[in-house]
């Protein structure tokens, strides 16, 4: 049975960046020694997710599994089994009598270094289960960024299914690993990971070559709105332009195709930069629950409301606009 709950409740935001921690995922992270990003794993339940939606004024939340994702279980059969278990659990939330009007989900994929396993799970999600609103992918897999040629069959498969893609950052393998001896990577390094992956996707020709996918970037695209022009301008250098197979026109067009969520990214500096970079039609609401707790969500919602009410451009991304953007994007990918 397909779940078409995009418009389950009249009005209200649609939260495209709200996470789930099903029991199988919690167990896998604990078995691996904890979240390698250094961020403490929060407690979670579908009831808590719905309560967070109420706090945000959201009628629908599209659940996703955050980093490190299925990669925590490796690239073999254990990872494949975990992906299937999580997709089955997420589907049960989205189709239950209790939550189906409030919760949907982005499908979970194996570590992309397991290409065959990833291709099979994409087919399961879109051809057999037929319940997800799209899929979550990560900013890197092992030492590979998303445009690595190893992953070409995956992009082809996602394009075949006209997939909506939610790109979420994951841990960077850098030294020193943490700021100030232990400050978790999600605070600063995750937005940088998103920036690197987004540029890699553009320079790798993904947005040019696979026209039937759409990609949502987490956290307002990280530093992309600030740095994208630097990328474009430096391609005027023939030596740099010769390193990639895309033109400046491809780069400019590619940057314009991304969608951006507002998770933990609602200051005037962040929203102003985002609106200077992209169309307001490409901005979506995100909360980052439960990694952002109630106090943090209340704070960023307050910033967002002050921007909407007090900035000259605020009306461009009012709640009704963000909802309409999400409904339109989901509709483009067959969910109404």
Per-run averaged pLDDT (10 residues), the chain, 336 residues: 43 96 97 93 97 97 98 97 98 96 98 98 98 98 98 98 98 89 91 98 98 98 97 95 95 97 98 98 98 97 98 97 98 89
pLDDT given for residue 10 in this prediction? 53
Beta carbons within 10 angstroms of residue 195's beta carbon: 23
36 vs 122: CA distance, rounded Å: 26
Residues counted in the chain: 336
DSSP class per residue in 243-292: TSS--HHHHHHHHTT-EEE-TT--SHHHHHHHHHHS-GGGEE----TTTS
* Sequence-separated (6 or more) residues with CB below 8 Å from residue 163: 122, 126, 134, 135, 213, 333
pLDDT given for residue 181 in this prediction? 79
Distance between alpha carbon 57 and the CA centroid of its chain, in Å?
A: 20
- The token pair at 175 is 């030294």
Domain 14-332 class in CATH: alpha beta
Decide if 285 contacts 46 (C-beta within 8 A). no
Would you kindly state where each structural domain of the chain is located, as residue ranges? 14-332
Decide if 15 contacts 286 (C-beta within 8 A). yes
pLDDT given for residue 239 in this prediction? 96
Global pTM reads 0.95
Distance between alpha carbon 115 and the CA centroid of its chain, in Å?
A: 20
């Amino acid at each position: 049975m397909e779940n078409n709950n995009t418009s389950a409740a009249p009005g209200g935001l649609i939260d495209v960046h709200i996470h789930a921690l099903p029991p199988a995922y919690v167990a896998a992270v604990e078995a691996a020694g904890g979240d390698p990003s250094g961020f403490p794993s929060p407690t979670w339940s579908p009831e808590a997710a719905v309560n967070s939606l109420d706090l945000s004024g959201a009628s629908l939340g599209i659940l996703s599994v955050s980093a490190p994702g299925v990669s925590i279980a490796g690239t073999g059969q254990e990872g494949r089994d975990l992906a299937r278990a999580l997709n089955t659990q997420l589907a049960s939330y989205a189709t239950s009598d209790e939550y189906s009007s409030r919760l949907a989900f982005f499908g979970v994929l194996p570590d992309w270094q397991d290409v065959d396993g990833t291709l099979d799970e994409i087919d399961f999600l879109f051809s057999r289960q037929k319940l997800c609103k799209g899929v979550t992918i990560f900013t890197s897999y092992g030492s590979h960024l998303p445009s690595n040629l190893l992953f070409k069959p995956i992009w082809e498969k996602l394009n075949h299914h006209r997939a909506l893609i939610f790109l979420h950052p994951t841990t960077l393998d850098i030294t020193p690993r943490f700021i100030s001896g232990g400050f978790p990577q999600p605070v600063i390094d995750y937005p940088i990971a998103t920036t690197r992956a987004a540029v890699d996707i553009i320079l790798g020709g993904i947005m040019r070559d696979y026209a039937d996918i759409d990609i949502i970037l987490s956290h307002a695209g990280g530093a992309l709105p600030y740095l994208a022009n630097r990328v474009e301008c430096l391609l005027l250098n023939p030596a740099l332009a010769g390193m990639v197979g895309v033109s400046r026109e491809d780069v400019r067009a590619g940057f314009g195709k991304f969608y951006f969520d507002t998770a933990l990214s609602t200051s005037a500096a962040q929203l102003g930069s985002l609106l200077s970079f992209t169309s307001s039609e490409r901005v979506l609401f995100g909360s980052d629950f439960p990694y952002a707790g109630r106090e943090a969500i209340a704070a960023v919602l307050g910033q967002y409301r002050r921007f909407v009410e007090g900035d000259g451009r605020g009306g461009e991304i009012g709640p009704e606009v963000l909802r309409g953007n999400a409904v339109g994007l989901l509709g483009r990918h067959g969910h109404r």
